[in-house]
């Protein structure tokens, strides 16, 4: 589309994230084709988020620079005429100094005028658009039978080790329980007394 309107891209930038790819373009287009290209680019978007147009009127500045350049060149010509008529060295040096200053000012004004002429002849379009990336679902990897068996064995072994550590941690309490239990049983046996049974009388 750009070549059809005599436009060109002068700068571009691209950035990417997990959700989208974003592009930013700066486009130079002839002022006469600005409206057509502007509308054409707007129709290409699947969804238009934002659109902004700004027109700066530089007509007054354009003609002001043109007039100042014309006046400075007229002054330059007068200094040249004076320089040709001067006979005293001092006057010639003063005229040359003024002439050099005027020529410097003319060069500066002409540079501004040329830049402004390009601005008038061309317009700039700042285009920003993005592409939404599809959602990437990370499917879990299915492990084989052998890998699952090894994982189960490892899990079972870890469980057995944890159980063994727990039993060892309770071993002192088990020994104390046995000791107190044995002492209590001995005391009960020592305290028991069996009285002799009286003989039964027979009638």
Per-residue pLDDT at 42: 81
Q: How many other CB atoms are there within 10 angstroms of residue 125's CB atom?
A: 17
Residue at token pair 């002068």: 10
Of 130, 132, 124, 126, nearest in space to 23 by CA: 130
Contact between residue 16 and residue 122 where contact means Cβ atoms under 8 Å apart: no
Chain position carrying tokens 């059809």 = 4
Predicted pLDDT of residue 92: 92
Please count the other Cβ atoms lying within 10 Å of the Cβ belonging to residue 62: 15
Q: What's residue 198's pLDDT?
A: 46
Structural tokens at position 29? 């287009």
Task: Assign 187 to helix, strand or coil.
Answer: helix
> How far does Cα 165 stand from its chain's mean position?
52
Q: Helix, strand, or coil here: 203?
A: coil
Give pTM, 2 decimals.
0.44
Which regions of the chain does DSSP assign to beta strands (E)? 8-16, 20-30, 122-132
pLDDT, tens digit only, all 203 positions of the chain: 888 888 888 898 999 888 889 988 888 888 888 888 888 888 887 777 777 776 666 778 888 999 999 999 999 999 999 999 988 999 999 999 999 999 999 999 999 999 888 777 788 888 888 888 887 665 555 556 666 666 666 676 676 666 666 656 666 666 666 666 555 544 554 444 444 444 444 44
């Amino acid at each position: 589309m750009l070549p059809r309107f005599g436009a060109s891209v002068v700068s571009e930038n691209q950035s990417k994230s997990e959700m989208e790819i974003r592009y930013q373009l700066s486009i130079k287009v002839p002022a006469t084709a600005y409206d057509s290209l502007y509308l054409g680019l707007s129709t290409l978007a699947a969804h238009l988020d934002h659109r902004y147009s700004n027109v700066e009127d530089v007509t007054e500045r354009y003609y002001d620079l043109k007039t100042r350049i014309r006046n400075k060149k007229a002054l330059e010509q007068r200094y040249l005429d004076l320089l040709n008529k001067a006979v005293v060295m001092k006057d010639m040096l003063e005229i040359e100094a003024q002439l050099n200053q005027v020529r410097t000012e003319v060069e500066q004004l002409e540079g501004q005028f040329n830049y402004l002429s390009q601005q008038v002849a061309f317009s700039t379009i700042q285009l920003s658009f993005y592409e939404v990336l599809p959602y990437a679902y990370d499917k879990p990897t299915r492990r084989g039978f052998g890998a699952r068996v090894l994982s189960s064995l490892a899990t079972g072994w870890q469980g057995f080790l944890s159980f063994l550590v727990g039993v060892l941690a309770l071993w002192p309490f088990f020994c104390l329980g046995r000791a107190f239990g044995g002492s209590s049983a001995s005391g009960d046996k020592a305290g028991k007394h069996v009285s002799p049974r009286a003989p039964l009388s027979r009638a």
